[in-house]
């Protein structure tokens, strides 16, 4: 019996959970009553009833998404119809500390632009950053592979917290996304984090300032404070505070029909690899960036009448703009109305004052619905014209032109230095409002041009004959360049006594041509490819006329596409420029310190005068080893790349020996230096001379000259270049002449540069590395040969009747050469 009892007890233990026995044993009242076990708690669902999340205390703003604020939390209520729809997320600085980013970052600066989609995954909503670099039509099988091999990163994942009562909308909490340090939308770049020793975001001092929802966009303002050991200002605070504006805009459901780019006409662009191509490879398609302009009356437009666009381009003036400058800014914006008329549109671009708080309490310059000419309180001297575009088609959505307050100072200085010899109005520090207004008008027009889609056209000024700049009627009609998009600021060629000269740039014929090419609607064209024949025809009609040539800014080897130059002959233009600059140098004290009774402006202008000298010389340097770039298609005559003729390269070399490398007699102005500097007189000129000498002796230039040996007998070869340069730089060594301190400095710089060429390895990111293997090219053989010849010349020269400084100089140069040729 005893064994049976133990077995029965054991079976009972196995049939019931231990916990139940324990509970039964514990849960008895003091009176011995058994208490029923508490029911097991079920985990509360993360997805709650709508009314428990969006309570009656919610403050709601309805628009693209409903934005709710409940206590200290922010929620997006996303209509499910907008899931998987393309949107643009643009991050901008709204407020920032002084000097953040070194002066070129300001209120209104864009820090990131990304195409995003909102996607649902299980009980989460994801923000995916999407790329259009690789595309294929969804109907094609290869589109599966394109998606698999271009998987988009997840920027952020949100838990779904509720659904709307009709289940048509999904609610997420976005507080953390907008109040923590999310790198994808941060205003503090990786470079800034390193420069300012940013340790991280201080969440206790960071918060969401506000959110507004509009029919097509949502605007969020964040206040973010970072702990930083070396902030850009107020270092003792060890803090950087910025205000960010996050704009999210729904992109058009029907994308704008894109227009294929052509390198013969200058446009900013977006590119895509189309894997649906039948060309046995992915087809790179490049589309121009432009605003969507569509005629209100298509039939009238087709008849050739001027028609207003359905939606014109509107620019608002920043409320911070000084009142006296506003009319000039508006004029600069609307300078583009005439070119748009060439494309068939009237009133296509309009300037407006920003609405007052009473007129529109929601207006904000950061709002992506508005394009604004931002006026920035900054000591930076610059202006820029960025824009935001749809990466699918190149459609420009919005742009902010940024004008820095001190930029007019640069234009006043350049006006005085470059035109003062022949333009009495420029010979003052108090340039008239009318003159300054005309300059500002044209700078604004230039920056608006960027915002309309146009890059710099550095070839436009070389389309005019150099002598034409001295013709008053010509300059009044044509300005100083065929395009406002060139860096041709002033007419520095006109000479004293020339009459009726226009000195300030203006819009040109190329601007009308480019607007028509990019913005004119081509009827009956259903695809971008359908337009190509017409676009080609427009280009060929103008081919051969230099006024309509586009010159890339990146063509550093092309003397016809240079920054800051004018005219089609650099040597002649720079000769005129230096002649004018010499006159200005002689009168600089008279126009500055003699008037102000201080030396601040004199010091500033003299330093800039040296820079102007360097620019004029640099324009000539580009002719040596120069190559003209003429974008063409195979059905056009001639080659794309054409070497500058030998006679012109020799002319440039001779000009440099006479004007750039000779001892200065006027540019080192002793009267100026004695009142502005206590030392470094010879160094000032050594610095600007050597910069041009090193430019002349660049690896890329010498490599192009070595290429000339392949092209034929009548070309300027590297050996000729080295001989001509040596004979000019060292011409005193062939005679008993003494060598001035300026020439001694230059000659030592020559030897140093030749030493660099003997040992320098081209960095991988140097463009020349693509074309030349320095160690195995002729370069070092040529340098070695020249140094050996020079050593013999100097050995003979030091025995001639020269002064002690010259003898010591020659002996030193021989030792320097020996160390290069025999370093051990």
In the block, tokens 């005439």 appear at 338
CB 84 within 8 A of CB 205: no
Q: Is the dihedral of CA 102, 105, 111, 113 positive or negative?
A: negative
Lowest mean pLDDT of 613-622, 715-724, 771-780, name the range: 771-780
CB 376 within 8 A of CB 108: yes
Calculate what percentage of the chain has a pLDDT beyond 70: 90
Nearest CA to 349 among 448, 453, 486? 448
Residue 375: its pLDDT value, please? 86
Question: What tens digit of pLDDT does each residue of 578-628 get?
Answer: 999 999 999 999 999 999 999 999 999 999 999 999 999 999 999 999 999
Mean pLDDT score, 740-769: 86
Cα angle at 487 between 479 and 693, to 5 degrees? 125
In sequence order, what E strands does 321-370 have? 349-353
Lowest mean pLDDT of 74-78, 163-167, 364-368, 396-400, name the range: 364-368
The total number of residues shown for the chain amounts to 824
d(CA 58, CA 768): 62
SS3 663: coil
Residue 377: its pLDDT value, please? 75
Count CB-CB contacts under 10 A for residue 638. Answer: 9
Residue 794: its pLDDT value, please? 96
CB 261 within 8 A of CB 287: yes
Mean pLDDT score, 224-232: 92
Residue 339: its pLDDT value, please? 97
Question: What tens digit of pLDDT does each residue of 123-136 get?
Answer: 999 999 988 776 66
Question: What tens digit of pLDDT does each residue of 298-339 get?
Answer: 999 999 999 999 999 999 999 989 999 999 999 999 999 999
d(CA 729, CA 46): 81
SS3 710: helix
Phi and psi of 272, rounded to 5°? -140, 145
Question: What tens digit of pLDDT does each residue of 83-118 get?
Answer: 999 999 999 998 888 888 776 787 778 899 999 999
d(CA 273, CA 279): 12
CB within 8 A of 40, min separation 6: which ones?
none
Mean pLDDT score, 280-293: 87
Secondary structure string (H, E, C) spanning 1-43: CHHHHHHHHHHHHHHCCHHHHHHHHHCECCCCCECCCCCCCCC
Question: What tens digit of pLDDT does each residue of 419-448 get?
Answer: 999 999 999 999 999 999 999 999 999 999
Residue 19 has pLDDT above 60, yes or no: no
Residue 405 binned pLDDT confidence (cut-offs 50, 70, 90): confident
DSSP letters of 282-319?
-EEEEEE-B----BSSHHHHHTT--B-BSS-EEEEEPT
Residue 10: its pLDDT value, please? 42
Residue 407: its pLDDT value, please? 84
Residue 266: its pLDDT value, please? 96
Residue 17: its pLDDT value, please? 43
Residue 297 has pLDDT above 60, yes or no: yes
Nearest CA to 111 among 211, 186, 208? 186
Phi-psi region of 720 (alpha: psi -120 to 50; beta: other; left: phi over 0): alpha
The b-or-e profile of 53-88 (16+ CB within 10 A means b, else e) is bbeeebeeeeebbbbbbbeebbbbbbeeeeeeebbb
List C-alpha distances in Å: 772 to 230, 628, 704, 761, 769: 43, 20, 9, 11, 6
d(CA 539, CA 501): 32
Global confidence as pTM? 0.87
Question: What tens digit of pLDDT does each residue of 761-770 get?
Answer: 767 566 666 7
d(CA 106, CA 406): 13
CB 541 within 8 A of CB 636: no
The b-or-e profile of 164-192 (16+ CB within 10 A means b, else e) is beeeebbbbbbbebbbeebeebbbbeeeb
Cα angle at 640 between 638 and 644, to 5 degrees? 90
In Å, how far from its chain's centre is CA 819? 43
CB 629 within 8 A of CB 640: yes
CB 160 within 8 A of CB 123: yes
SS3 274: strand
First CA to last CA distance, the chain: 110
Mean pLDDT score, 176-200: 93
Lowest mean pLDDT of 40-49, 305-314, 430-439, 642-651, name the range: 40-49
Nearest CA to 631 among 620, 646, 644, 641? 641
In Å, how far from its chain's centre is CA 764? 23
Mean pLDDT score, 627-633: 94
What is the edge-to-edge ordering of all strands in the sheet holding 269-274? 134-135, 269-274, 283-288
Cα angle at 479 between 458 and 425, to 5 degrees? 115
Residue 408: its pLDDT value, please? 85
Provide the 8-state DSSP code for 767. G
Phi and psi of 395, rounded to 5°? -65, 125
Mean pLDDT score, 406-410: 85
Helix (H) / strand (E) element for 800: namely none
Tokens of 818: 């020996």
Q: Average pLDDT of the chain?
A: 89
CB 334 within 8 A of CB 351: yes
Residue 32 has pLDDT above 70, yes or no: no
d(CA 735, CA 547): 49
Count CB-CB contacts under 10 A for residue 221. Answer: 18
d(CA 518, CA 30): 93
Residue 24: its pLDDT value, please? 40
Residue 25 has pLDDT above 60, yes or no: no
The b-or-e profile of 718-729 (16+ CB within 10 A means b, else e) is bbbbbebbbebb
Tokens of 325: 């400058």
Residue 679: its pLDDT value, please? 84
Calculate what percentage of the chain has a pLDDT beyond 90: 73
Question: What tens digit of pLDDT does each residue of 237-267 get?
Answer: 999 999 999 999 999 999 999 999 999 999 9
Nearest CA to 171 among 312, 255, 46? 46
Residue 775: its pLDDT value, please? 84
CB 526 within 8 A of CB 500: no
Residue 376: its pLDDT value, please? 79
Mean pLDDT score, 659-688: 87
Alpha carbon dihedral 469, 475, 479, 480, in 10-degree steps, equals 0
Residue 137: its pLDDT value, please? 67
Q: Are strands 239-250 and 217-228 parallel, antiparallel or unpaired?
A: antiparallel
Residue 517 has pLDDT above 80, yes or no: yes
Mean pLDDT score, 491-499: 97
Interhelix angle 646-655/570-591, nearest 10 degrees: 20
d(CA 430, CA 412): 9
Residue 554 has pLDDT above 80, yes or no: no
Residue 26: its pLDDT value, please? 45
């Amino acid at each position: 019996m005893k064994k049976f009892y133990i077995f029965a007890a054991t079976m009972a233990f196995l049939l019931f959970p231990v916990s139940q026995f324990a509970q039964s044993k514990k849960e008895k009242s003091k009176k011995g009553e058994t208490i029923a076990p508490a029911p097991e708690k079920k985990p509360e669902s993360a997805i709650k009833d709508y009314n428990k999340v969006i309570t009656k205390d919610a403050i709601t703003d309805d628009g693209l998404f409903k934005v709710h604020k409940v206590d200290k939390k922010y929620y997006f209520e996303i209509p499910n119809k907008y899931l998987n729809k393309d949107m643009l997320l643009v991050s901008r600085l709204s407020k920032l500390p002084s000097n953040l980013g070194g002066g070129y970052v300001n209120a209104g600066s864009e820090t990131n632009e990304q195409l995003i989609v909102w996607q649902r995954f299980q009980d989460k909503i994801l923000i995916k950053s999407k790329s259009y670099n690789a595309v294929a039509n969804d109907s094609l099988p290869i589109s599966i592979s394109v998606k698999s091999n271009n998987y988009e990163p997840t920027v952020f994942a949100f838990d779904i917290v509720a659904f709307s009562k009709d289940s048509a909308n999904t609610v997420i909490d976005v507080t953390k996304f907008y109040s923590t340090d999310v790198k994808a939308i941060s205003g503090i770049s990786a470079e800034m984090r390193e420069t300012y020793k940013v340790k991280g975001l201080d969440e206790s001092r960071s918060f969401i300032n506000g959110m507004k929802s509009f029919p097509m966009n949502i605007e969020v303002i964040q206040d973010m404070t970072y702990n930083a050991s070396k902030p850009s200002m107020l270092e003792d605070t060890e803090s950087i505070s910025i205000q960010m504006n996050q704009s999210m805009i729904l992109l058009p459901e029907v994308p704008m029909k894109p227009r294929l780019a052509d390198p013969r006409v200058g446009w900013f662009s977006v590119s895509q690899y189309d894997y649906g191509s039948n060309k046995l490879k992915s087809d790179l398609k490049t589309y121009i960036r432009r605003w969507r302009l569509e005629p209100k009356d298509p039939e009238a437009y087709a008849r050739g009448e001027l028609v207003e666009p359905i939606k014109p381009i509107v620019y608002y003036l920043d409320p911070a703009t000084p009142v006296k400058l506003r009319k000039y800014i508006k004029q600069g914006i609307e300078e583009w109305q005439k070119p748009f008329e060439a494309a068939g549109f009237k009133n296509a671009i309009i300037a407006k004052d920003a609405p007052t708080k009473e007129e529109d309490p929601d207006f904000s310059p950061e709002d992506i619905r508005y394009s604004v000419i931002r006026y920035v309180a900054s000591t930076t001297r610059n202006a820029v014209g960025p824009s935001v575009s749809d990466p699918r088609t190149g459609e420009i959505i919005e742009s902010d032109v940024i004008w820095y307050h001190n930029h007019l100072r640069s234009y006043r200085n350049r006006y005085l230095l470059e035109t003062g010899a022949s333009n009495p109005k420029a010979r003052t520090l108090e340039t008239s409002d009318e003159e300054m207004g005309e300059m500002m008008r044209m700078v604004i027009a230039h920056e608006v041009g960027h915002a309309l889609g146009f890059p710099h056209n550095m070839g436009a000024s070389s389309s005019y004959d150099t002598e034409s700049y001295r013709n008053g009627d010509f300059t009044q009609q044509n300005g100083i360049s065929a395009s406002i998009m060139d860096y041709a600021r002033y007419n520095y060629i006109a000479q004293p006594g020339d009459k009726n000269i226009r000195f300030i740039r203006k819009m040109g014929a190329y601007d009308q041509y480019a607007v028509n090419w990019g913005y004119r609607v081509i009827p009956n064209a259903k695809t971008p490819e359908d337009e190509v024949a017409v676009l080609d025809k427009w280009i060929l009609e103008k081919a051969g006329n230099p006024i309509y040539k586009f010159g890339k800014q990146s063509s550093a080897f092309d003397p016809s596409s240079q920054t800051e130059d004018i005219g089609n002959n650099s040597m002649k233009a720079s000769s005129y420029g230096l002649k004018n600059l010499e006159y200005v140098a002689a009168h600089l004290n008279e126009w500055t310190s003699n008037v102000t009774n201080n030396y601040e402006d004199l010091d500033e202008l003299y330093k800039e005068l040296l820079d102007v000298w360097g620019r004029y010389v640099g324009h000539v340097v580009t002719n040596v080893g120069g190559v003209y770039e003429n974008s063409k298609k195979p059905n056009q005559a001639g080659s794309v790349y054409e070497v500058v003729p030998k006679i012109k390269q020799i002319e440039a070399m001779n000009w440099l020996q006479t004007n750039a490398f000779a001892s200065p007699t006027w540019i080192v102005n002793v009267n100026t230096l004695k009142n502005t500097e206590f030392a470094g007189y010879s160094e000032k000129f050594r610095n600007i001379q050597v910069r041009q000498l090193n430019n002349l002796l660049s690896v890329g230039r010498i490599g192009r000259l070595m290429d000339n040996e392949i092209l034929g007998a009548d070309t300027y070869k590297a050996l000729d270049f080295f001989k001509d340069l040596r004979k000019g730089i060292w011409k005193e060594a062939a005679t008993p002449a003494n060598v001035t301190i300026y020439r001694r400095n230059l000659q030592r710089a020559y030897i140093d540069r030749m030493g660099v060429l003997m040992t320098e390895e081209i960095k991988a990111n140097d463009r020349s590395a693509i074309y030349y293997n320095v160690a195995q090219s002729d370069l070092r053989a040529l340098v070695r040969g020249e140094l050996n010849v020079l050593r013999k010349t100097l050995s003979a020269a030091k025995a001639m009747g020269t002064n002690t400084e010259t003898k010591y100089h020659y002996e030193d140069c021989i030792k320097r050469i020996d160390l290069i040729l025999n370093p051990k």
